Amino acid sequence: MGDKQVLVTGACGEIGQALVQGLAKRGGFRIVTSDLMPLPDSIKSLAAEHVQGDLVYKVKNFYDYDFEMIFHLAASLSSKAEVATEEAHRINVEGTMQLLMLAAYRSEKYGKPVRFLFPSSIAAYGMPDRAEKKKAGRVMEGEWNTPHTMYGCNKLYCEKLGVYYSRYCGQRHLDEHPPVMCDFRAIRFPGLISAFTLPSGGTSDYGPEMLHQAAQGKPYSCFVREDTRISFMAMPDAIKSILMLSETPREKLNHTVYNIAAFALTAGEFRDRAVKAFPKAQITFEPNPRRQGIVDSWPEDVDDTLARTEWGWKPDYNADRFFDDYFLPEIRKRYRN
């Protein structure tokens, strides 16, 4: 049997680059990528084909491709989406719907469910104020589904669209002979931190930005208060989770959307660890009210019991291991510090 053909959208983004590398390392895949940008050198040789351009208009090119899996990572992140709201809706919702239509079409036509992996986010949650956030602690998937941001609304709605296209499309599940539908699965990611790339346009970006600046001996002004707490995860764990969920047999899954967690730290705790590792780091706190408001609406942490019990999820990196075994060794090599 030949390689499984897979599509990775948003391949030039942080998760995209790491996922293409993860799939290539695993082997057995013909990787097709798409993005607005040309592929960076780090992954150029790993993709069999790259389709460059606006996904909303490019999806039609993919109708003849026999994709077993679609990893749809292209998105406009939370801070950027508040500045260009309608454009974010177009990218985040229209792009996802076009791809879901493609997955539904191919699943039905060839009688084989196309697996659709969707990265959702802790932005799908929305807590009314800091007191409720503190009181709620670790939230379950069904709680506080009241996002405050365009990006969070888009993610939550796309989760629902995924359920629609994979279960109820055209109400044909009620037919005497229902069609084969696509197989949609979503992970709600916390803030992600890579030692190799930097995010852009997100609101959890203060975590990675602070650490990368400190490692280079550059000053950093953090746009949230010291006491701000949300959950974070090492990029290798994020890739592990995507691959794990994509490989889990459908019959093991009783849900469609899963939280995953690794460690929750305050911005002040990030500063303390950065200063311990790089004593010359200069980190100050100058909260930006809008970006602060976004992070205050996200939960302190999430409960990932469903992922642990249904598909065996367990992160490799808690806070200590994240710093000691992954981030610091890699970042020291990168910036020679």
**Residue ranges in contact with ligand AKB by CB under 6 A:** 77-78, 121-123, 151, 189, 191, 202-204
- The closest alpha carbon to 36, from 53, 16, 60, belongs to 53
CB of 292 to ligand AKB, least distance (A): 13
Nearer to ligand AKB, 223 or 313 (CB): 223
Strand ordering across the sheet containing 191-193: 191-193, 229-234, 263-266
CB of 148 to ligand AKB, least distance (A): 12
- How big is the chain, counted in residues? 337
Residue closest to ligand AKB (Cβ): 202
- Cβ atoms 291, 223 nearer than 8 A: yes
Q: Which residues pair with 231 in a beta bridge?
A: 264
Nearer to ligand AKB, 184 or 232 (CB): 232
**Strand pairing category for 115-121 and 29-35:** unpaired
CB of 312 to ligand AKB, least distance (A): 24
Q: What is the DSSP string of 20-37?
A: HHHHHHH--EEEEEEESS
Nearer to ligand AKB, 89 or 112 (CB): 89
Between CA 262 and CA 305 the distance in angstroms is 12
Between CA 260 and CA 283 the distance in angstroms is 29
Between CA 53 and CA 39 the distance in angstroms is 12
> How far, CA to CA in Å, does 331 sit from each of 74, 207, 231, 322?
26, 14, 21, 12
Nearer to ligand AKB, 141 or 183 (CB): 141
CB of 151 to ligand AKB, least distance (A): 6
Nearer to ligand AKB, 204 or 246 (CB): 204
Nearer to ligand AKB, 193 or 214 (CB): 193
CB of 216 to ligand AKB, least distance (A): 21
Residue type present at position 285:
F
CB of 191 to ligand AKB, least distance (A): 5
CB of 267 to ligand AKB, least distance (A): 13
Q: Residue 71: which region, alpha, beta or left (left: phi > 0; alpha: psi -120 to 50)?
A: beta
Structure tokens belonging to residue 257 = 């959307």
Nearer to ligand AKB, 77 or 93 (CB): 77
